[in-house]
Amino acid sequence: MGFDTNARINAERLRATMDVSSGIGAKGPGLSRLALGDADKAMRDIFVGWCRDAGLEVSIDRMGSIFARRAGREDDLPALMIGSHLDTQENGGRFDGIVGVLAGLEVLRTLNDLGHVTRRPLCLVDWTNEEGGRFPPPMLASGCFVGAYDVDWAHGIVSTDDGTTLGEELARIGYLGDGAIDLAGVDAYLELHIEQGPELDHEGLDVGIVTNAATVYGFRMEFLGETAHAGTRPMALRRNALVAAARLATAVDDLGHAHAATGGMATTARVAAQPNKPGILSHTCEWIGDVRHPDAAAAAAMRDAVLAAAKAAAEAARCDLVIRDTWTWGGDIFSRDLATGARRVASELGYRHRDITSRAGHDAYFLAQARPTGMIFIPCRDGITHTLDEFTTDEAIEAGANVLLHTAVRWADRSGT
């Protein structure tokens, strides 16, 4: 049963679906829809309703990820999984991973309209906590899905905002599932996402075919010092944890500038001191940040430099250093076959495209550890993202959804096992 190359998604319906999403957790022109908060719950409830209306079989796993399965002609074969994430950062955009999930839904709705049943099943996914905005590290649920993280450990992660745990919040919003879909049921994974960089936009391209990913090393650490009076504690005796974190912050920024010419980046994302009050020294300070480089060896060197800088910062401030957590992803991880398929579709559909390196983290990185994985990027204006002003056009979303449609259907319909 062939699939009509002239088939296209319903752009009007996808726009309307995106518009509903843009109203849930709205903040200015963007969104604040942090994982497992009330807005995330509201979005999930609506999304599950849409999936059920489309005749999809919905299940929730122990990490709260939502799976919506569309049966295949040979339904015992593993499914092609498509999707992304519906959560955002504190000041996030309307598009980010949301485009990937809702375009995925539009693909399945389009197949319903056309009466096309793919050979393999298709499974649409919304991964919990991709952003890690409340519960670091990011891409937590996809990491658990492939076994890179332990689910019980993940349930115990404490929110950076309010002291609740991820497991408590999953239960509170009613998304602590029982894990109906597992890795064995997955054939491959395909994710549509905005680029989160300026290349496609500035080059006037419609679509990017992701062929590799910058290597990332992330850290959550804590400096432990001692509270004392700001007016009486001698300088030589001070153990101000905030100072240790500040020293690390400037060292990490210097590191990023030193590697900038070759594409390296280094970020202090969070410094949170306790008690953080005027007139006293802080006894504890959390530091969260990461380093990234397109070259894996250079990224590893930057990782080592961060760890050395953290040690030096702790010593200089006479504090203790505790590494709470580290994470890494990226590299040459994507399926050449899926990239070839997406590239061919983009050409046939007449979209301007080129190959591209992914710089941000994505759930696809974890899926790539276990299954053939591909990513399709669409441009976002000036590459700005994780901000309320993040923007991409309806035309870009439509182009990406059409490439997703045909790439997914060809992959799911392919012969062989």
For residue 361, state whether it binds Zn ion (rule: CB under 5 A). Answer: no
Residue with Cβ nearer Zn ion (97 or 225): 97
Residue with Cβ nearer Zn ion (211 or 385): 385
Report the nearest approach of Zn ion to the CB of residue 76 (Å).
32
Report the nearest approach of Zn ion to the CB of residue 386 (Å).
9
Report the nearest approach of Zn ion to the CB of residue 359 (Å).
12
Instruction: Looking at residues 90 to 149 of the shown chain, list those that interact with Zn ion (rule: CB under 5 A).
Output: 96-97
Residue with Cβ nearer Zn ion (61 or 96): 96
From residue 292 to residue 331, what is the string marking binding to Zn ion with x (rule CB under 5 A)? ----------------------------------------
Q: What is the DSSP letter of 41?
A: H
**DSSP SS3 for 61:** coil
Residue with Cβ nearer Zn ion (33 or 41): 33
Helices assigned H by DSSP within 203-319: 241-259, 296-316
Report the nearest approach of Zn ion to the CB of residue 85 (Å).
6
> What does the alpha-carbon distance between residue 2 and residue 98 come to, in Å, rounded to a whole number?
30
> What does the alpha-carbon distance between residue 319 and residue 331 come to, in Å, rounded to a whole number?
35
Confirm if 34 and 89 have CB atoms less than 8 A apart: yes
378, burial (CB in 10 Å: exposed 0-12, middle 13-18, buried 19+): buried
Residue with Cβ nearer Zn ion (201 or 413): 201
From residue 43 to residue 82, what is the string marking binding to Zn ion with x (rule CB under 5 A)? ----------------------------------------
Residue with Cβ nearer Zn ion (96 or 201): 96
Residue with Cβ nearer Zn ion (72 or 92): 92
6, burial (CB in 10 Å: exposed 0-12, middle 13-18, buried 19+): exposed
State the residue number with the nearest CB to Zn ion. 97
Report the nearest approach of Zn ion to the CB of residue 397 (Å).
14
Residue with Cβ nearer Zn ion (97 or 294): 97
> At which residue do the structure tokens 């908060």 appear?
37
> What does the alpha-carbon distance between residue 147 and residue 135 come to, in Å, rounded to a whole number?
18
Residue with Cβ nearer Zn ion (83 or 167): 83
Chain center to CA of 25: 18
Report the nearest approach of Zn ion to the CB of residue 288 (Å).
18
Report the nearest approach of Zn ion to the CB of residue 335 (Å).
20
Confirm if 63 and 183 have CB atoms less than 8 A apart: no
Instruction: Looking at residues 211 to 230 of the shown chain, list those that interact with Zn ion (rule: CB under 5 A).
Output: none
Report the nearest approach of Zn ion to the CB of residue 130 (Å).
5
Report the nearest approach of Zn ion to the CB of residue 383 (Å).
14
Given the rule CB under 5 A, which of 89-97, 223-231, 267-275, 407-415 is the region that contacts Zn ion?
89-97
Burial readout 290-305 (b: 16 or more C-beta within 10 A, e: otherwise): bbbbbeeebbeebbeb
Confirm if 140 and 132 have CB atoms less than 8 A apart: yes
Confirm if 230 and 280 have CB atoms less than 8 A apart: yes
Tokens representing 8 are 């296209």
The dihedral formed by the CA atoms of 21, 25, 31 and 35, expressed in degrees to the nearest 10? -90
Q: Which residues bind Zn ion (CB under 5 A)?
A: 96-97
